[in-house]
Amino acid sequence: MTAHPVSRAFPNPYDVQPPEGCADYAEMYPYYLRFNEALRTGDEDRFWFFNGMHFPEPVFPFDIITADSPYMALGQINTRIFAVPPALGIEHRVLNGYVYISSNSVLDPEEIGRRAQLFLPRAGYYYRNWDELYARWIVKVEAAIHELSALEVPQLPEFEDESVVTDGVGFGSTYQLMVAYNRLLESIDLVWQYHFEFLNLGYAAYLTFTQVCRQHFPDITDQSMARMVGGVEVTTFRPDEELKKAAREAVRLGIGSRVEGGGTLEDLEGRVGSDDAGRNWMAQLRSVMDPWFYFSYGNGFYHHHRSWIDDPRLPVATIGSYVHRLTAGEDIARPVDEVRKERDRIAADYRGLLPDDDARQGFDEALGLARTVFPYVESHNFYVEHWYHTIFWNKVREFGALLSRFGFFDDADDVFYLQRNEVLDALTDLRIAWSAGSEPVGGRYWKPIVAHRKDLIERLKQWTPPPALGPAPDSVQEPMTIMLWGVTTEHVQSWLDGAGESTTRLKGFAGSPGIAEGRARIVLNLEDLDRLEDGEILVAPVTNPSWTPIFGRIAAAVSDIGGVMSHAAIVAREYGLPAVVGTGFATTVIKTGQRIRVDGGEGVVTILE
Amino acid sequence: MSETPLIARLDQIGSTDSDTVGGKCAGLGELIRAGIPVPPGFAVTTEAFRMHLLENDLSPRGLDSAAIRRGIEEAPVPAALVAAIIDAYAALQELTGGTPAVAVRSSAVGEDGRAASFAGQQETYLWVSGAQEVVAHVRRCWASLYTSQAVSYREHLGTDDVPAIGVGVQLMVDARVAGVMFTLDPVTGDRSQIAVNSAWGLGLAVANGEVTPDEFLVDKVIMEITRRRVTDKPFEYVAAGTGGVAREEVTDDRRSSSSLTDPELLALSGVGKRVEAHMGSAQDIEWAIDRRLPFPESLFVLQSRPETVWANKRAAAPAVPTASPVGSLTSMMRDMLRQPGATPRSDAPERPSSN
């Protein structure tokens, strides 16, 4: 031990070597996302952390658009539109396929003051008109979703339709293909700008509430504060509510036993379709699938995160299990009233401990605003990451299918191994060849590249990304970093200490109160989710909103990544289940089948055997 | 006040009786009135002390404190009072069987309470068994009013009145674990927290500073444990067969484990909340869990006093770090919220839902 403090650091990104066989992996990503020599001076001195919450796996070349568009939109809102005084945007880089991020802050008080002059009236306008602007937001986003959904990918027929002539159109499919692809890219950019239109302001309002609470109650937990704003109807719960509704209706119609049994939508239809009651029930179910089945099994950030609508086996099985529980006399409703009553009691009790009217007024204002913004903070996720992204990825697949048809790929999904600008190149190749009546060169050019990149991605998957890069900060101050990713000063220290190896006790965030013991089920993918048994404790890198229905079957939830406002924590609180989030290492330390104890009030997971 | 009885059961008195039974006994009676579990017992009233002085023709004046004490301790306790104490002790015997051990404590009144407190001589005698022993210790409590410091303090105040004193007699709690709790965080003054200190055995080890107690913080709103620090507790005091106490080594398996289970801690905190609510201010509470009784009947409050350190300090809010990005943003936001019409109308958070 040295007497003077030595500043500790995570690996320097410029020293990190690519895994074997991956020397050229960086070519899968645009130059501006690499730790390249031109950026070394700045990048080397920054603290970067692994964004495993949104990008737990290596990112596919095309899929990086779901980092570029979001970070651009986030930064633009903070830096350019609202001039959030202390916070600019978030930088992102890709190292060995994994996304690392680093936030830009404003520290100069004079500059903060200058930005405040702009921020206060602008943010004030949004807060004052929140509900109205949010209503408009829903209209805008739904319009964007429908527009993308309706976007036709020109199929490059042998001969154009006669109407091109008789209507005097004057242009052909090559132009339309260009327009369609540009529309696709514009569309996701637009929707991600909408995504952040309210989000940062929402977090700022929530953060203000937490600071007001801490001023009076220095020991208050994050969870207590989160519970004071919970209990609201958010869109993310709607898909699960629809499954429950379908189950109740099936029981009412007396077709419950036929609904049970899982399988595909066709299997289900086969079982219930033998009479009018069953056929009507099925028609009703199909009518709610748009949009409520546009719910990703993952977080929506990867093209392979398919949705219920793509593979309805989970919702079909869930309806069946709800029927089963209803038949057994169980109550399957979310404890909304209890959560809400508890929310109001907690707020009233803390308020009752405040010293005077002034303090109570400040508390009421901050809580009122936090509650106003909260529904957006959670609901936006369904619209953008689930509904929109489901349609977006499938639309990209249509372009992939077109390229495939012209021999570029063996499979439509190979398109995701091309960067978006490379897809533009491929489409240009195709447009030129098709118009010239010749063969595109693309097949010979891209197939080996795709094959190589498939190998790269598989190899990069085997690499374990360090939790952070660069010099460790003395303290973590950036609000989003703490609230959403759960990266705190304490966590950074524990990463440096290499905590998590051969331990039986994991510390995370107290996500949702209560204590539960049970067998752990590590869920890394959809197949693991299928194996989950009732009463087990879900242990996952992150939990996704579309897993909501399984919260009715598990005893508790544990995640590697996420803060108190992460989806796992929010959903667990609404379902009245204990949850510990942001443990860092739960999925590597805990094994399926082990008995574990989850203390959601303290944020501790203990391995009992 | 000539009608004042010599003895009063603790569950028959309350805070308004402090003139006749002293502050400590009145406080215990008040706790019982609020439904707080307090060891059963009785108060020997101020009238009993007056009777003792009168019947023995004692006039405790002047500065010779030792002579005054000797006078009080050597004079026979009036027969009527002895009989009353025997009756009251017998009532306790009925609760426990055998010859129960009791605590005998001074319970001074008003200004004299301050004098006694100043002198640090609010005597308490623990593990007293048998009615005659109780009588003897009651007399020693009376005498403890006349330490040299207390006498000079009264002289300094220029008061020549005979001080009033009551004595409390309560069943001993044979503590398996004991400690104190504050109904706020004594470090930050956070009123939403209950701070509990606990260690194995009788409360002495902690009071004497021989053992660093386990420390817990419980959020009284959500009733969750927000902080815990379990210490190494090498010693504990236990009741010795002779009626005294013995210091013993704690066995290895217990010394580093938590002296309170979570259910005990939460039950204790619940009691703390109720005491605070009834008393109307933050409290400093002594408690113990009896080894002979099943939980939760084993949990007792031994004493509760208003918390004094933070009581007058007006919620001196800890500085919000405005130099940080978070601090500067949120302080601006708060200024903004202060402007009229800054926020949309929303559900008034203070209005709990009615169903």
Q: Are residues B146 and B181 in the same domain?
A: no
Q: Are residues B148 and B236 in the same domain?
A: no
Q: Are residues B62 and B210 in the same domain?
A: no
Q: Are residues B13 and B84 in the same domain?
A: yes
> Is there a domain that residue B320 lies in?
no
pLDDT band at A417 (very low <50, low <70, confident <90, very high): very high
Of the candidates A212, A371, A602, the beta carbon closest to that of B346 is on A371
Query: What are the two backbone dihedrals, phi and then psi, of residue A370, each rounded to the nearest 5 degrees?
Result: -60, -40
| Average confidence (pLDDT) over A578-590 | 85
pLDDT reported for residue A13: 96
Q: Are residues B120 and B23 in the same domain?
A: yes
| Average confidence (pLDDT) over A229-255 | 90
> Is there a domain that residue B332 lies in?
no
Q: Percentage of chain A surpassing pLDDT 90? A: 64
B330 closest CA partner among A110, A211, A109, A200: A211
User: Between chains, do B329 and A204 touch, taking CB under 8 Å as contact?
Assistant: yes
| Residues A158 and A112: beta-carbon distance below 8 Å | no
Question: ω before B5 within 30° of 0 (cis)?
Answer: no
Reduced to 3 states, what is the DSSP secondary structure of residue B140?
helix
> Is there a domain that residue B64 lies in?
yes
Residue type, B284: D
User: Between chains, do B329 and A344 touch, taking CB under 8 Å as contact?
Assistant: no
Chain B residues within an 8 Å CB radius of A349: 220-221
Alpha carbon distance A352, A365 (integer Å): 15
pLDDT reported for residue A338: 87
Chain centroid to CA A222: 21
> Is there a domain that residue B339 lies in?
no
> Is there a domain that residue A596 lies in?
yes
Strands, E assignment, A345-501: 468-469
User: Between chains, do A219 and B336 touch, taking CB under 8 Å as contact?
Assistant: no
| Residues B299 and B264: beta-carbon distance below 8 Å | yes
| Average confidence (pLDDT) over B319-332 | 59
pLDDT reported for residue B263: 94
Reduced to 3 states, what is the DSSP secondary structure of residue B57?
coil
**Structurally, how many domains does chain B consist of?**
2
**Nearest CA distance, A21 vs chain B (angstrom):** 43
Alpha carbon distance A400, A415 (integer Å): 5
| Residues A513 and A578: beta-carbon distance below 8 Å | yes
The per-residue pLDDT for range B275-292, each reduced to its tens digit, is 999 988 899 999 999 999
**Token code pair at residue A413:** 């999904």
Chain B residues within an 8 Å CB radius of A120: 332, 335-336
Question: Which CATH number does the domain housing residue B293 bear?
Answer: 3.30.470.20
**Structurally, how many domains does chain A consist of?**
1
Question: Which CATH number does the domain housing residue B104 bear?
Answer: 3.30.1490.20
Interior CA angle at B124 toward B120 and B129, to 5°?
165
pLDDT reported for residue B346: 44
Least confident of A101-105, A192-196, B80-84, B203-207: B203-207
pLDDT reported for residue A118: 94
pLDDT reported for residue B335: 74
Mean pLDDT is highest, among A47-61, A111-125, A172-186, B135-149, for A172-186
User: B40-65 as b/e, with b when 16 or more CB fall inside 10 Å?
Assistant: bbbbbbbbbbbbbbeeeebebeeeeb
Neighbours of A40 (CB within 10 A): 13
pLDDT reported for residue B326: 61
Chain B residues within an 8 Å CB radius of A479: 325-326, 329
Taking 50 as the threshold, does the pLDDT of residue A212 lie above it? yes
| Residues A548 and A595: beta-carbon distance below 8 Å | no
Does A191 contact B at CB distance below 8 Å? Answer: no
Alpha carbon distance A393, A79 (integer Å): 29
Reduced to 3 states, what is the DSSP secondary structure of residue B171?
strand
pLDDT band at B354 (very low <50, low <70, confident <90, very high): very low
Query: What are the two backbone dihedrals, phi and then psi, of residue B214, each rounded to the nearest 5 degrees?
Result: -65, 145
Least confident of A8-12, A396-400, A406-410, B147-151: B147-151
> Is there a domain that residue A593 lies in?
yes
**Nearest CA distance, A143 vs chain B (angstrom):** 26
Does A104 contact B at CB distance below 8 Å? Answer: no
Q: Are residues B149 and B239 in the same domain?
A: no
| Average confidence (pLDDT) over A100-107 | 90
Of the candidates B328, B336, B352, the beta carbon closest to that of A124 is on B336
Does A365 contact B at CB distance below 8 Å? Answer: yes
Alpha carbon distance A231, A245 (integer Å): 20
Neighbours of A606 (CB within 10 A): 14
| Residues A70 and A381: beta-carbon distance below 8 Å | no
Does A214 contact B at CB distance below 8 Å? Answer: yes
User: Between chains, do B221 and A212 touch, taking CB under 8 Å as contact?
Assistant: no
> Is there a domain that residue B312 lies in?
no
pLDDT band at A56 (very low <50, low <70, confident <90, very high): confident
The per-residue pLDDT for range B171-181, each reduced to its tens digit, is 999 999 999 99
Looking at every residue in chain A, the average pLDDT score rounds to: 90
User: Between chains, do B350 and A348 touch, taking CB under 8 Å as contact?
Assistant: yes
User: Between chains, do B334 and A211 touch, taking CB under 8 Å as contact?
Assistant: yes
Least confident of A536-545, B113-122, B258-267: B113-122
Q: Are residues B142 and B274 in the same domain?
A: no
| Residues B65 and B148: beta-carbon distance below 8 Å | yes
Comparing alpha-carbon positions, the chain B residue that sits nearest to A227 is B222
Alpha carbon distance A513, A515 (integer Å): 7
Comparing alpha-carbon positions, the chain B residue that sits nearest to A206 is B330
A216 closest CA partner among A339, A369, A364: A364
Dihedral, CA of residue A588, residue A455, residue A546 and residue A346, to nearest 10: 40
Handedness of CA A344, A370, A54, A487 (dihedral sign): negative
| Residues A356 and A296: beta-carbon distance below 8 Å | no
Reduced to 3 states, what is the DSSP secondary structure of residue A208?
helix
pLDDT reported for residue A502: 53
Alpha carbon distance A186, A447 (integer Å): 27
> Is there a domain that residue A531 lies in?
yes
B233: left (phi over 0), alpha (psi -120 to 50) or beta: beta
Q: Percentage of chain B surpassing pLDDT 70? A: 83
A183 closest CA partner among A396, A416, A405, A414: A396
What residues does B43 pair with on adjacent strands? B8, B168
Of the candidates B315, B325, B327, the beta carbon closest to that of A87 is on B325
pLDDT reported for residue B312: 64
Q: Which of A219, A339, A351 to mutate to test the interface with B (most CBs of B within 10 A)?
A: A219
| Residues A442 and A407: beta-carbon distance below 8 Å | yes
The per-residue pLDDT for range A448-471, each reduced to its tens digit, is 999 999 999 999 999 989 989 999
pLDDT reported for residue B339: 65
Chain A residues within an 8 Å CB radius of B336: 120, 123-124, 127
Alpha carbon distance A176, A244 (integer Å): 43
Chain A residues within an 8 Å CB radius of B318: 215, 218
Strands, E assignment, A212-297: none
Ordered alpha helix ranges (H), A18-129: 40-43, 65-75, 109-128
> Is there a domain that residue B344 lies in?
no
Alpha carbon distance B164, B116 (integer Å): 11
Does A105 contact B at CB distance below 8 Å? Answer: yes
Q: Report how many Cβ contacts below 8 Å link chain A to chain B.
A: 179
Domain boundary among B171, B190, B218: B171
Alpha carbon distance B265, B225 (integer Å): 8
Q: Are residues B164 and B181 in the same domain?
A: no
> Is there a domain that residue B327 lies in?
no
Q: Are residues B194 and B223 in the same domain?
A: yes
Q: Which residue has the higher pLDDT, B224 or A502?
A: B224
Question: Which CATH number does the domain housing residue A560 bear?
Answer: 3.50.30.10
Q: Are residues B125 and B181 in the same domain?
A: no
> Is there a domain that residue B91 lies in?
yes
pLDDT reported for residue B347: 43
> Is there a domain that residue A216 lies in?
no
DSSP A538-586: EEESS--GGGGGGGGT-SEEEESS--TTSHHHHHHHHHT--EEE--SSH
Give the β-pairing of A537-540 and A515-522.
parallel
User: Between chains, do B336 and A353 touch, taking CB under 8 Å as contact?
Assistant: no
- H or E element at residue A91: strand A87-95
**Token code pair at residue B141:** 């409590």
| Residues A478 and A568: beta-carbon distance below 8 Å | no
User: Between chains, do B326 and A479 touch, taking CB under 8 Å as contact?
Assistant: yes
Q: How far is CA A368 from CA A205, A350, A374, B351, in A?
A: 10, 14, 10, 12
Interior CA angle at B150 toward B148 and B153, to 5°?
105
Q: Are residues B162 and B210 in the same domain?
A: no
**Token code pair at residue B324:** 């940080």
Neighbours of B309 (CB within 10 A): 12
Range of the domain at A562: 503-607
- Number of C-alpha atoms within 13 angstroms, CB side, residue A173? 21
Q: Are residues B125 and B183 in the same domain?
A: no
User: Between chains, do B188 and A340 touch, taking CB under 8 Å as contact?
Assistant: no
Query: What are the two backbone dihedrals, phi and then psi, of residue A221, each rounded to the nearest 5 degrees?
Result: -90, 155
Alpha carbon distance A507, A484 (integer Å): 17
A492 closest CA partner among A505, A480, A502, A477: A477
Range of the domain at B92: 7-171
**Token code pair at residue B231:** 């210490």
Say what angle helices A173-216 and A65-75 make with each other, to 10 degrees: 50
Give the β-pairing of A579-581 and A556-559.
parallel
Say what angle helices A238-253 and A313-327 make with each other, to 10 degrees: 50
Q: How far is CA B120 from CA B25, B125, B157, B169, in A?
A: 18, 14, 17, 20
**Nearest CA distance, A10 vs chain B (angstrom):** 23
Query: What are the two backbone dihedrals, phi and then psi, of residue B181, each rounded to the nearest 5 degrees?
Result: -140, 145
Chain B residues within an 8 Å CB radius of A208: 329-330, 333-334, 337
